[in-house]
Structure 1
Amino acid sequence: MKVQQITEPVAYHGEGPVWSDAWGGLRWLDMLAGDVLSLAPDGTVARRNVGTVVAAIRPRRQGGAVIGVERGFTLEDADGAVTTLDPLWSDRGVRMNEGGCDPDGRFYCGSMAYDQREGAGAVHRLDPGGSATVVLDGVTISNGLEWSPDGGRAYYVDTATERVDVFDYDREHGLTGRRAFAAAPGGPDGLTVDEEGGVWVALYGGGSVRRYAPDGTLDEVVELPVTKVTACTFGGRGLDRLFITTSREHLDPGAEPEAGALFACTPGVRGVPVREFAG
Structure 2
Amino acid sequence: MTVRTLAAEPLTGPVAEHGEGPVWHPSFAGVRWVDMLAGDVLELGEGGSVSRRRVGTVAAAFRPRRGGGTVLADERGFVLLDDSLARERDLGALWDDPGVRMNEGGCDPSGAFWCGSMAYDERPGGGTLYRLGPDLVAEPALHGVTISNGLAFTPDGRLAYYVDTPTGRVDAVDVDPEAGAAGLHDRRPAVVVTDAPGWPDGIALDAEGALWVALWGGGAVHRYTPDGVLDTVVEVPVSRVTACTFAGPCLDRLVITTSRQGAADPEPLAGALFAVDPGVAGRPVAEFAG
Q: What band does the TM-score fall into relative to the shorter chain? A: over 0.9
Unaligned runs of 5+ in 2: 1-5
Per-residue CA deviations over 1:191-246 (Å, capped at 9, x if unaligned) read 00000000000000111000110111111111111100000000011100000000
2-structure distance, mates of 1:80, 1:119: 32
CA distance in 2, matches of 1:62, 1:24: 17
Q: 1:190 matched to which residue of 2?
A: 202
Q: Answer with 52-61 or 76-85: which moved more.
A: 76-85
Counterpart pick for 2:97 among 91, 98, 106:
91
Q: Which moved more, 1:110-119 or 1:178-187?
A: 178-187
Alignment correspondent of 2:107: 101
Residue 8 in 1 paired to residue 20 in 2?
no
Per mean C-alpha deviation after superposition, the further-off stretch among 41-50 and 104-113 is 41-50
What SS is found at the alignment partner of 1:70?
A: coil
Where does residue 43 of structure 1 map in the other structure? 48
Q: Which residue among 206, 219, 223 is the counterpart of 2:231?
A: 219
What CA distance in whole angstroms lies between the structure 2 residues aligned with 1:151 and 1:26? 24
CA distance in 1 between partners of 2:154 and 2:241 (Å): 22
- 1:27 and 1:81 map into 2 onto residues whose CA distance is 15
Q: Quick one: structure 1 residues 257 and 79, their matched pair in 2 at CA, closer, same or farther if it must change by over 3 Å?
A: closer
In the alignment, what sits opposite 2:3? none
RMSD: 1.1
* 1:79 Cα deviation from its structure 2 partner: 4.9
Residues 45, 79 of structure 1: alpha-carbon distance in 2 compared, 3 angstrom cutoff: closer
Would the aligned equivalents of 1:149 and 1:195 in 2 still touch at CA under 8 Å? no
Conserved 8 A contact 1:149-1:197: no
C-alpha deviations, 1:61-120, integer Å up to 9, x for none? 010100010000110123544122210000000000000001110001100000000001
Q: Does 2:67 match 1:55? A: no
| Matched ranges for 1:71-86 at <5 A | 71-82=76-87, 83-86=89-92
CA distance in 2, matches of 1:179, 1:240: 30
The answer to whether the 8 A contact 1:16-1:56 is kept is: yes
Secondary structure class of the residue paired with 2:93: coil
TM-score by length of 1: 0.97
Deviates more, 1:70-79 or 1:230-239: 70-79
Letter in 2 for 1:11: A
**TM-score (normalizing by structure 2):** 0.93
Q: Distance in 1 between matches of 2:231 and 2:48?
A: 31
| Structure 1 unpaired stretches of 5+ | none
- Equivalent in 111, 117, 121 of residue 111 of structure 1: 117
Q: Separation in 2 of the partners of 1:96 and 1:171?
A: 23
Aligned pairs (5 A) from 1:1-279: 1-82=6-87, 83-173=89-179, 174-185=183-194, 186-252=198-264, 255-279=266-290
Identity among equivalent positions (%) equals 60
2:50 & 2:84 partners in 1: Cα distance? 20
- Equivalenced residue count is 278
CA distance in 2, matches of 1:32, 1:184: 27
Taking the aligned partners of 2:117 and 2:124, their CA distance within structure 1 comes to 12
Q: Which one is further off, 85-94 or 216-225?
A: 216-225
Moved over 3 A (4+): none
Determine if contact 1:155/1:167 at 8 Å carries over to the other structure. Answer: yes
SS of equivalent residue, structure 2 residue 166: helix
Distance 1:235 1:152 in 2: 24
